[in-house]
């Protein structure tokens, strides 16, 4: 059955503080991953240092890239050894194992939790207007 797209979320635990806090490492993700997945950036990637909000977020890096196929985003939390990533694409057949392995390597993650959602299950096969 045709569906519009696929959405993978990754929550990584026990990551390396230095890798999660390294600006160049974090930037490399949003520069490399679209190409690795055969996707196409529509605009230059954005990486910002996110400050400690004095609540549950002790600060880290937030990265985002708009791709023709949708978006890739992640947020690192070095002091917690944690990363949260979001890969959404209108492509079908997303290689989830490749993406998870990529994030595990980039941040030396010890444990990973993933969710995979097929989006737009009722997406029309033809234009309706």
d(CA 18, CA 25): 9
d(CA 64, CA 46): 5
Q: Which of 70, 71, 76, 84 is an active site residue?
A: 70
Domain assignment of residue 90, yes or no: no
Domain assignment of residue 63, yes or no: no
Nearest to 80 by CA among 57, 62, 61: 57
Strands 82-89 and 70-77: antiparallel
Domain assignment of residue 31, yes or no: yes
Give the pLDDT band (50/70/90) at residue 51. confident
Per-residue pLDDT, 1: 61
Q: Which of 3, 71, 84, 90 is an active site residue?
A: 90
Q: Which of 3, 7, 71, 75 is an active site residue?
A: 75
Rounded average pLDDT over 12-23? 98
What is the extent of the structural domain holding 33? Answer: 12-54+75-82
> 15 near 81, Cβ under 8 Å?
yes
Per-residue pLDDT, 52: 74
The yes-or-no verdict on residue 53 having pLDDT over 80 is no
The yes-or-no verdict on residue 21 having pLDDT over 90 is yes
**75 included as an active-site residue:** yes
Rounded average pLDDT over 75-87? 97
**26 included as an active-site residue:** no
- The number of folded domains in the chain is 1
- Look at the pTM and tell me if it is higher than 0.85: yes
């Amino acid at each position: 059955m045709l569906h519009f797209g696929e959405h993978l979320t990754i929550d990584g635990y026990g990551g390396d503080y230095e890798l999660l806090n390294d600006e160049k490492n974090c930037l490399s993700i949003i520069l490399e991953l679209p190409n690795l997945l055969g996707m196409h950036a529509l605009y230059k990637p954005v990486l910002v240092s996110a400050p400690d909000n004095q609540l549950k977020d002790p600060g880290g890096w937030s990265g985002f890239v708009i791709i023709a196929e949708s978006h890739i985003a992640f947020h690192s939390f070095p002091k917690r050894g944690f990363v949260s990533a979001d890969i959404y694409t209108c492509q079908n057949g997303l290689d989830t194992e490749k993406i998870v392995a990529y994030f595990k390597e980039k941040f030396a993650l010890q444990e990973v939790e993933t969710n995979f959602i097929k989006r737009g299950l009722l997406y029309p096969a033809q234009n309706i207007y």
